[in-house]
Amino acid sequence: KIFEFSYTHKNKIFLFVCLIIHSLYILIFGLQGCTGLVALNIGSTLFYLYAIYSSLRKKNETFMVTISYFEILLFSIISELLAGGDFGFLLFPLGMVAAIFYLVPKEYSNKRYVIQLVGIIATYIVFRLETSGIIIQPTVHEKLLGIAVPLKAYNTAITLLAVTYVSCVYMIELDRTQQKLDYNVNHDALTGLYNRRFFEYLMRKQHELYSKPYAVVMFDVDDFKKVNDTYGHEVGDRVLEMLADCLKRNMGEYDVAVRWGGEEFILFFPDVDMNFAEKKTIQVQNDIRRRCVEVGDAKIQITTTAGIAVEKDINKYEDAIRIADERLYYGKRHGKNCHIKEDMGE
């Protein structure tokens, strides 16, 4: 939950942490009498106060995160110029080059590499300043030498925190993407029910049901073509969505509802007999009859026909589907709006 919260509010957290870091810098450099660095961090603190204010008002949040990246780069260069090396300011642009790739808003995703290039250039500039020994205020360098080790440790900890946090954000984003991909692969896009591919995969994996009876119920919407021809495919889709909602509402914890194709649906009930399967089928069909789809002043009510098959061997699930399908179409040919649970003959 903590990681999920961090991911959801990653921009606000990032801006807030930057505010805390610069506030602490004001205290650290103030105690050392480094007025130039104090002024620099006051400016950065004011920037992050404004950025957080904009973020809370939901204005320019994504833009502010991108601007904060450039603030960090500029801060590192100026700090290196004022204080010189030995204090770990090089770590900031070095760490942010990788971090910004996952923090940059989606609106700027096509500019990520350009933004990273700017970071690489800034990192090189700080590196050259550090190795060349260029210092604008040598007295600042001398004042900070006494706290060089803890200051460098502080800057190292900040960089590690940023990289670790962004790594967590990346992992959560990757996990969410994988979940969304898995969902799309296994579910029907229109109804949200499981699709045929997932059902067949599930049947192959249900080894524990080999000796237990199960029921397969094949549903079909009566006169669905007439609905499409009369009201259009968009209304037809709404009818299918309504039917799918009825199926979901009537499914138990281990039951499975599947859009088999077109207006055909399958219900799978594990560890049940024919009486239970028939009872559930009637329950679903009655629920569907009570529902309607409103189109202007018209109310579209639908009925369904169902075929029921019970089987014991999970390896014969295809036979169960075939039998349920045959019973379904027997019902379609002999009045519709019914369920068939046994072979009737012609």
Specify whether the CB–CB gap between 123 and 97 falls below 8 A. yes
Is 334 strand, coil or helix?
A: coil
Please give the Cα distance from 199 to 185 (Å, whole number): 12
Please give the Cα distance from 220 to 118 (Å, whole number): 60
Q: Rounded to the nearest 10 degrees, what angle do helices 91-103 and 61-83 cross at?
A: 170
Question: For this structure, is 294 an active site residue?
Answer: no
Q: Which of 200, 208, 234, 263 is catalytic?
A: 263
195 contact partners, CB below 8 Å, separation of at least 6? 186, 187, 188, 258, 259
Q: Pull the structure tokens for residue 13.
A: 């957290």
Where would I find the beta strands (DSSP E) of 262-314?
264-270, 293-295, 298-300, 304-311
Q: Which residues are catalytic?
A: 263
